[in-house]
Amino acid sequence: MPDRLTSALEGYLAYLSVERGLATHTLSAYRRDLTRYVAHLHALGRDDPSQITERDVEDYLLVLRTGSDGRAVLSASSSARSVVAVRGWHRFLALDGLAPTDAAADVRPPAQPRRLPKAISVEDVGRLIDAAGLGDGPVPLRDRALLELVYSTGARISEAVGVDVDDLDLTAGRSAVRLLGKGRKERVVPVGSFAAEAVEAYLVRGRPALAASGRGNAAVFLNTRGARLSRQSAWAVLRTAAERAGLDTAHVSPHTLRHSFATHLLAGGADVRVVQELLGHASVTTTQIYTMVTPDTLREVYAASHPRAR
């Protein structure tokens, strides 16, 4: 029989799934982080949530930084994610009456350096999308439409592959797509003309051929078996296009087009709160990282503006 700690963990994960509607991959990350934490507590002789102290939580931060439990040493960002999971669980335990206090209430995740998201230039975005559409048949049409839609809307890869045909409105002049974001929050985002044309071309000339291999699927983006395209396959599309376009694949990630979308909008004069809504960020603070000035931008502005810069 599972001990009380393990039972309490399963209860929390069920709450995150049912009540909070967290995505499957997010739940997997929580399970991984908290399973390691429970193993740490077991090693300390704890078998009930009511026995956990603030010192136990602080000791776990040291474990994450040193790998003294025999597992991997985590980076600052991964440690912070793990601490967020631990804090959420302890808050749940206290609110649910499984622990007398919130043992993690005063424990803070390690500070992380503020890093600019990696974006690519408008020209490189064009090369990337063109490279995705090289070739004949339904797959190049799909790949181009996928990357056009992601860049046009700032969608996460998981949101893009989650789009169903009924989520699209490609009416000229008011094209839009309904995206399902984190916490199953919906938002409707405009779709630009380039993306609308690419998606329509795929729906007319590419998707029917892919759908013929399956048993009927509402997804917009299908694989060669007629099933919904997976996140991993969509990431492979992006990586292959980057290689074809001659881009540095070390600087291309599943979020590259999303980051570029936000960076290019702000550079074009968009209000940060509008970009927040388009990205589906819960807080404008998350979006504001895109407003950080890079050293290159500082040099360009200085050279162009200072009377004795040249």
Catalytic positions, please? 156, 182, 255, 258, 281, 290
If one counts every other C-beta atom within 10 angstroms of the C-beta of residue 14, the result is 11
Cβ 180 vs Cβ 186: under 8 Å: yes
The amino acid occupying position 297 is: T
CA dihedral 141, 143, 147, 153 (to 10 degrees): 70
CA distances from 68 to 41, 51, 59, 60, 252 (A): 13, 22, 10, 10, 33
SS3 of residue 178 by DSSP: strand
SS3 of residue 23 by DSSP: coil
Q: DSSP character for 219? A: B
CA dihedral 186, 188, 192, 198 (to 10 degrees): 50
Q: Which helix (H) or strand (E) holds 180?
A: strand 176-180
> How deeply is 231 buried, as exposed, middle or buried, from its count of CB atoms within 10 A (0-12, 13-18, 19+)?
middle
Cβ 257 vs Cβ 151: under 8 Å: yes
Q: In DSSP terms, which residues pair with 51 in a beta bridge?
A: none
Spatial distance between the Cα atoms of 252 and 249, rounded to a whole number of angstroms: 5
